Structure 1
């Protein structure tokens, strides 16, 4: 309590000239810190070739400069170093109460970089927003948004900022960190009476010719996943299953694909399968939800003049 009173009296005894001098000195030191930070960031751009490492080094440099400026302000305007711990305590208590969300966001920023939850370039979904990470700030993550009113995995054109605090508040879906592939599938209705074996061969042959490269890469990545996590080995090759419905025989093709090429891969599969089915001369026919009228009661129409 005595130290706090001395601390307040010390502020009251500061003369205007002394305060102005301290303020000028503070601005000069801030300019020096900013200049050194700028030079270090320029040096990082020239010396570090890896984009991820360069990005993280520049972010760390900027964060350290902020810390130095805050410490400089505390030491400069408290007057004496012996009051430093008291000032830190008072400021920390006030900030912790007023800036709870900001502190949680900064903690989220630390967690993102220390545990590699995601990094720039990853495709993630956080707080119900899906997009590609284009920047990770101290308090917010910036995404190039996907989906919404645009079908499939296409950009909407909107840039969305999400608080880093959501890494603690909810689920983070990462499409690309350890396993940059996703499972996708297409359903193909085949009309009853078609050559089911021929249809099966057409679909599997085309799937293998188009998707086996993905399967080979995915198999290597999955081996790393098995070593890193407690997870069983998975089949990453294309699989085809058949389901009989009331209207048609439905084939389900399930396959692994690059998470950024889902739409183009599905489009290529549909086109190639359709072309191959057209060449079967009717042995295989795609079904549709149209209805054939196979019988109707006899209708009598009286066209006589009404009385």
Structure 2
């Protein structure tokens, strides 16, 4: 023991580093213990996730304060130490600092949260985790059509919240406008076709329309925005080949593909039940004249 004491007295720097390492390990173990305790004792998924992230944030902040206080010897030197530290590493770690600042910005301003569907830096997906450096998303689209998962998990730096636009599909107003185009053959009963399409759309989208109207009123009161048409609308365009019906409607952002499939099936069955009064059109080509072909066999 005397030899160990003498060695420690002769090497104060090593002793100081070892003591600091023990403090760091202790704090990290406490953080992990609290996270496991919360994970086992909080049944609500959202509350459990937020509480664990809060423990991590408090723990890491405490570590930073303890580190600066430990090596400066006085908590009053905190501001000076932060300034010197930042000046020394700001250039080499600017992306890291920007990511950390981005995580604080996301949390405070509520840019998005786990469960939101967003598009950022050209990547679209559902947010499944917001960390201190990265946002993790389950990707949507790419080689698969519509709003289906591709199966890839994407980690994106939080710094991107300062570098471009962020499209949020679900914040404040979890509905989007969508449309389908229907080619109707010339000579069809257009009034009958219009009534069938509007009737089918109104019945199929009744739930989405009613829910969206209530939430749209809140959007109009919150933001400087004019009122919008929530009920399904139908516009007609005359083309070279057919009469095009453009059906515009509002739908839950997670049920876009299912709703379009339901509308197409219902409209197809309704048109087939008109006994030829309403027909779908396809591209047609009319040959006016076939040029003469002259062949001289002797030559």
Is structure 2 residue 175 aligned with structure 1 residue 168? no
Is structure 2 residue 270 aligned with structure 1 residue 276? yes
Rounded to whole Å, the distance in 1 between the matches of 2:218 and 2:113 is 19
136, 153, 158: which one aligns with 1:159: 153
211, 215, 222: which one aligns with 1:221: 215
Tell me the TM-score normalised to structure 2 length: 0.89
> For residues 1-307 of structure 1, what are the structure 2 equivalents within 5 Å?
17-46=11-40, 48-78=42-72, 80-81=73-74, 84-85=77-78, 86-293=80-287, 295-296=288-289
Rounded to whole Å, the distance in 1 between the matches of 2:81 and 2:235 is 69
SS in 1 for 2:205: helix
Rounded to whole Å, the distance in 2 between the matches of 1:251 and 1:183 is 16
Aligned residue pairs total 291
Conserved 8 A contact 2:241-2:284: no
SS in 1 for 2:118: strand
SS in 2 for 1:256: strand
Rounded to whole Å, the distance in 1 between the matches of 2:83 and 2:273 is 80
* TM superposition shift of 1:284: 0.7
Tell me the TM-score normalised to structure 1 length: 0.86
Rounded to whole Å, the distance in 1 between the matches of 2:119 and 2:291 is 60
Offset from partner CA, 1:136-160 (integer Å, 9 cap, x none): 1111111111111211111111111
* Unaligned runs of at least 5 residues, structure 2: 1-7
CA RMSD across the alignment? 2.4
* TM superposition shift of 1:68: 2.1
Rounded to whole Å, the distance in 2 between the matches of 1:246 and 1:178 is 42
Change (3 A) 1:15 1:271: same
* TM superposition shift of 1:133: 0.3
Rounded to whole Å, the distance in 1 between the matches of 2:168 and 2:219 is 14
* Unaligned runs of at least 5 residues, structure 1: 1-13
Conserved 8 A contact 2:69-2:75: no
Change (3 A) 1:82 1:102: closer
Offset from partner CA, 1:263-287 (integer Å, 9 cap, x none): 1111111111111111111111111
SS in 1 for 2:96: helix
Rounded to whole Å, the distance in 1 between the matches of 2:285 and 2:270 is 25
